[in-house]
Structure 1
Amino acid sequence: MEKWFIRNKSADYKKIAAHFKISEFLAKLLINRDVNDHRLIDSFIYSNLDKLHNPKTMKDLSKGANIIKEKIINKDAIRIVGDYDVDGVISIYLLYTVIKQFGGNVDYVIPNRIDDGYGINNEIVREAKKQGIDTIITCDNGIAAIEQIKLAKELSLTVIVTDHHDLPFIIDESGEKVYLTLEADAVINPKQPDCDYAFEKLCGAAVVLKLIQELYLLFNIPLESTYDLLEYTAIATVCDVVDLVDENRIIAKKGLELINETKNIGLKALIKESGIENKEIGIYHIGFIIGPSINASGRLDSALKSLELLLCEEEELAHTLAKELREINEERKQMTIEGVERIVNTIEYSNLKDNKVLVIYEPKVHESIAGIIAGRIKDRYNRPTIVLTNGKEGVKGSGRSIEGYNMFEELSECKELLSRFGGHPMAAGLSLEYENIHILREKLNHNIKLTEEDLIPKVYIDMHLPLEYINFALINELKLLEPFGKGNNKPIFGEKDLKINRGFRLGVNKNVLKLILENKNKSVVEAIYFGDIDDFEDLIVTRYGRTQLENIYKGIDNNINIDILYYPSINEYNGKTNIQITIQSYRIS
């Protein structure tokens, strides 16, 4: 059972509203999202490109750009080593096309998820040296590759690291964190403690974009010329689930505009193949349709296929590749469903469900989707979850966390049990020996600081908003907050003691619930619920009896009152426009 909390952050809403010429209603929503200082509010409301930060302020960025310029001019062989997810593929695409544009001698390598694992490895380094590569540039990886980069320097390679992941560290004798350093020629990562960059929550592709901006300036090309690259950076920003505030918000907003007018042959083919060709592409389409299709090739095939699609210049080939990616993604979806079912059964019929940290070993799960499944299990049980399976060399897995549990730091406390690990507070990847699985599970649960209260799902409500306050002007004002995503969630409003005047089950499969609701002030609204209708009906029958449920569907007066969490919108159907709310959650009043 979830708990509801109303956000009650103090601020001078009147002053904010007056200064930025917005309503107090909107000012409160911004403060609720911790958009609370002058610069952040200004950037949020007026998300213009001139508010992107100066790339020169990022540590080692100018140094790295100057090295790349010299290597381009000298025709030295450059190899980009990227990750196999959307962020990595986009990062490679951006840097490769730009270096090529400037006449550089450049190629790329993407480690195979199964055979090579995450990030740059010793074999990639040795192969680069053997093939006469002069410079390695990592994208969306490398910050934790201490040994691999040391090897590269021993082999006299130039190394530039571009990354956005948390820095590896050890705990010294006094209990303090000591961050590990790399021997690279330039390390570009805004999360470095001594980096002065104003915003550290960029994805890997956005870090690469900042590097490209500096490179453009070094070649005497206006920085504004890089803005066309925002459509690709936006895809990575959305799919890597970074906070959509500050620069990320600007990138996402401008990028979405460009995506809807894209001239990239491969991207156009994927949009068409996905059945969204004539729709306005938004965050949902990027995060749940386009992104997963790009990601799927790195999971079940090779991420090179997705990169090839973006680089494609022939329409026929582009459509062939796009179709292949969609088919791979459909296969991935089915494998995910089956994996989730197996693991739920394992949990329900064992003592694992008593653990606060779920560590599940399921050898039949494909290692490439362990993270997706861990996320689904985490959502179902609201517990930090690590899903482990058989990898090419030992046991491999991925973890997903909940609020209040820093998975990266907790795994750091168990590093003696792990062959390899990396990640950030909310997600991590790891490898270990089979015999250490039980020990890891025991240690993580023994060290746990989470209480039973922490494990109860919490929903934070922006405010109590009575039905009579909803109007077209308010709904249009809410659009100023878009695009929604991590760090800028869609607002949640609450209303209580609502009478159900009538109910309808809609859709071909009768899986949509429509309710006509009325509050104590006689305001009436249409509400739509896309959740589990059977659960809703069971609750009504348990509390009030089947007759009362039947009365709802017949439109007969009943004794049922509910509280709801909702979001208002404008519904257009058959030429008619009306206000409608979408119910996110409900409870009996």
Structure 2
Amino acid sequence: MAKWFVAAKRADFQKIGETFGISPVLARIIRNRDIVEEDDIRKYLQGTVEEMYDPGLLLGMECAVEILERKIRENKQIRIIGDYDADGICSTFILHKGLLHAGALADTAIPHRMKDGYGLNEHLVEDAWEAGVDTIITCDNGIAAAPQIELAKKKGMTVIVTDHHEVPYEESGGERRYLMPPADVVIDPKQEGDNYPYKGICGAVVAYKVIMSLFRRLGLEKRESALLEELLELAAFATVCDVMELLDENRIIVKFGLSHMQSTVNQGLRALMEVNGIDKKKLSAYHIGFVMGPCLNATGRLDTAVRALQLLEAEDRGEAVRIAADLKQLNDSRKEMTDIFVKKAVKLVEESGLGKDRVLVVYLPDCHESLAGIIAGRVREKYYKPVFVLTKGEEGVKGSGRSIETYHMFEEMTKVKQLFTKYGGHKMAAGLSLEEKDVENFRREINAVCTLTESDLEERVHIDVPMPVSHVSMDFVRELELLEPFGNGNPKPVFAQKDMAFLSARILGKNGNAVRFTVLDDCGKRWEMMAFGDPAPLNAYMAARFGQEAVDRLYLGKTQDIRMSVTYYPSLNTYQGNTKLQLVMQQYQ
């Protein structure tokens, strides 16, 4: 069971509220996000695209656009090499469309997950050389591709790296030596010497900054303003899909993107919304991260990501809808396969003694390698431990890891990097390749170097405001919309009510994956409270604490024996034209 903590960060909430025309409760929530200075609060609430950072602040930008301008003038063939996830696909689209509008002779290549693996590889370099490509520009990859870039340079090609991942390093005597690839220029906010004010941007935002800077240099900014708006929508889409923190510049980008996507000119995005039944006017970061984004990602997982790029580049509505429908179907089958292997992974942890490890390494040889990251994320949610899921690939074993806040996955992997044939990532997620004989060695050694304590492995719920349900109103719920978009770094606020009386319960949904409770607030008013997800753990908890008979009576609507503390989020539920307040349960104890 997670531990609950009330955030106790101090500020003059009354004064903040008066300054910005918000309630003291909202001021408190913003303070809990570590947004303190008046200008930062203003930017959080009212930031505009004009406040995005100048692309010229990225180290290497001036050099990169100089090269690109020259290559365009000389009519040299440029190849964009992206990646097979949503960020890589969006980055490729942004660079390709931007370069074509700048007059470049440009094409694209996206690696195949199974045949090529992540990012730039030797055969992509050879293919480019044989096709007469003069310049390779990477996006969302390249920072860890030193040998492949060396090969391209030996063949006389120009290489521009645009990436956002951590720079690989070697550690000796407590000193880190960063291993930069031998490209003509590298643009990556995480490289040494880069002074870009916000390091948390995704690959597509880096790509967008390149096009913005190039247009500025070529005097195309005003003429291509509509195109830049379309490209910024895709940068926003990728920011959410790549689970970047929705703070600072990212928050501005995603707010802009969500607003503009409602009337997007991109046929692919329109079709994705259509086939998924998304109301454009209610589009949220949730829809991008959990509905539309997975459809793009599914192509890179089970097919080829080239299909997803074709969707974004489609100019005919009919073609876009056909591709989007295929992608949705592919994603539906991906979800079914994921559920099967999550069950297998949990069974392995429960029955093989793996559960005692602080870092879980689960080997599922017959699992499709593209599902490893999703499965790792689901297993992490269940056990609140760092998780690696390994699968048998065409060459050796491949895997993906998902981490917890207290564990820097990339740095921990670097401690045992001698076991990998390839690895990369950041604090919360990573990918790796190794030989099958080293699977057990990896499990043993990653646990041997692990310094996680018992308290590190306790999930913590940070309550923003302990607030009786009776304080919730329609106006307050609408005010909470000022905090959107929600996501990594800017989660939905957590409210809490102690000792709430539960009067009745009813299981809903065709899969029985929701419970509607009737609860009583501190003023004796009845409320509807929804709990989403498998109800079995909640029912088991109530039975253990109050007895099965009390739970049975609850489902018959005949009990007042059950009282629990809950964390919740208030929302509005509209059904058949009627809108009413509703509470969504998040945790219970």
TM-score, L = length of structure 2: 0.95
**Matched letter for residue 435 of structure 2:** E
Within 5 Å, which residues of 2 pair with 1:361-372? 361-372=363-374
Q: Indicate how the Cα distance of structure 1 residues 356 and 21 shifts in structure 2: closer, same or farther if over 3 A, else same.
A: same
45-54 vs 544-553, greater mean Cα deviation = 544-553
2:57 aligned with 1:63, yes or no?
no
Q: Which residue of 2 aligns with 1:468?
A: 470
**In the aligned structure 1, how far is the partner of 2:36 from the partner of 2:461?**
21
Q: Distance in 2 between matches of 1:316 and 1:560?
A: 54
Equivalent residue letter for 2:253: I
Q: Distance in 1 between matches of 2:557 and 2:343?
A: 38
C-alpha change, 1:277 and 1:215, in structure 2 (3 Å) is same
Aligned to 1:181: 180
Classify 1:363/1:406 alpha carbon distance in 2 versus 1 (closer, same or farther; 3 Å).
same
Match of 2:255 in 1: 253
Q: 1:337 aligns with which of 336, 339, 358?
A: 339
**Alpha-carbon distance in structure 1 between the residues aligned to 2:506 and 2:343:** 31
Q: Distance in 2 between matches of 1:512 and 1:337?
A: 18
Correspondence list, 1:205-216, <5 A: 205-216=204-215
Spell out, residue by residue over 1:445-491, the C-alpha distance to the aligned partner (whole angstroms, 9 max, x if none): 11111112222222111120112221122211111001101010001
Q: Which structure 2 residues correspond to residues 31-430 of structure 1 after superposition, within 5 A? A: 31-173=31-173, 175-222=174-221, 224-225=225-226, 226-276=228-278, 280-430=282-432
Change (3 A) 1:273 1:557: closer
SS at match of 1:227: helix
Q: Is the 8 A contact 1:87 1:237 kept in 2?
A: yes
Q: Does 1:570 align with 2:572?
A: yes
1:529 paired residue among 524, 528, 531: 531
Among 534, 547, 563, the residue aligned to 1:545: 547
Structure 1: runs of 5 or more not aligned: none
Structure 1 distance, partners of 2:367, 2:512, is 33
Q: Cα deviation per residue 1:93-123 (whole Å; 9 max; x = unaligned)?
A: 1110111112211111111111111111122
Cα separation, 2, equivalents of 1:531 and 1:318: 33
Q: Aligned partners of 2:240, 2:449: CA distance in 1, in Å?
A: 33
- The share of aligned pairs that are identical, in percent, is 43
Report the Cα distance in structure 1 between the residues aligned to 2:324 and 2:579, rounded to whole angstroms: 37
Judging changes above 3 Å, is the alpha-carbon distance between structure 1 residues 426 and 412 closer, same or farther for their aligned structure 2 residues? same
Does the CA contact (< 8 Å) of 2:3 and 2:458 recur in 1? yes
Query: SS in structure 2 opposite 1:349?
Result: helix
Gap change, CA 1:39 and 1:82, over 3 Å in 2: farther
Give distance in 2, aligned partners of 1:136 and 1:447.
39
Q: How far 1:554 moved relative to its partner?
A: 4.4
Bigger shift: 273-282 or 454-463?
273-282
Distance 1:544 1:338, change over 3 A: closer
Structure 1 CA distance, aligned partners of 2:497 and 2:378?
A: 29
Alignment RMSD (CA, Å): 1.8
Q: Quote the residue 1:447 is aligned against.
A: 449
Per-residue CA deviations over 1:365-384 (Å, capped at 9, x if unaligned) read: 11111111111111111111
Q: Which consecutive unaligned segments of at least 5 residues does structure 2 have?
A: none
Q: Deviations over 1:155-188 (max 9, x none)?
A: 2211111001111111122x02222222212111
- TM-fit CA distance, 1:511: 4.2
Q: Could you tell me whether the CA contact under 8 Å between 2:361 and 2:443 is conserved in 1?
A: yes
Moved more, 178-187 or 516-525: 516-525
**Aligned to 2:450, what secondary structure does the other structure show?**
coil
Q: How much has 1:510 moved relative to structure 2?
A: 5.0
The worse-fitting range, judged by mean Cα deviation, of 348-357 and 19-28 is: 19-28
Q: Which amino acid aligns with 1:457?
A: E
* Residue pair 2:468, 2:522 contacting (<8 A) in 1 also: no
Asked if 2 retains the 8 angstrom alpha-carbon contact of 1:467 and 1:495, the reply is yes
8 Å contact kept, 2:470–2:522:
no
Change (3 A) 1:278 1:198: closer
Change in Cα spacing, 1:192 to 1:18, as seen in structure 2 (3 Å) is farther
TM-score by length of 1: 0.95
Contact (CA 8 Å) 2:85, 2:300: kept in 1 or not? yes
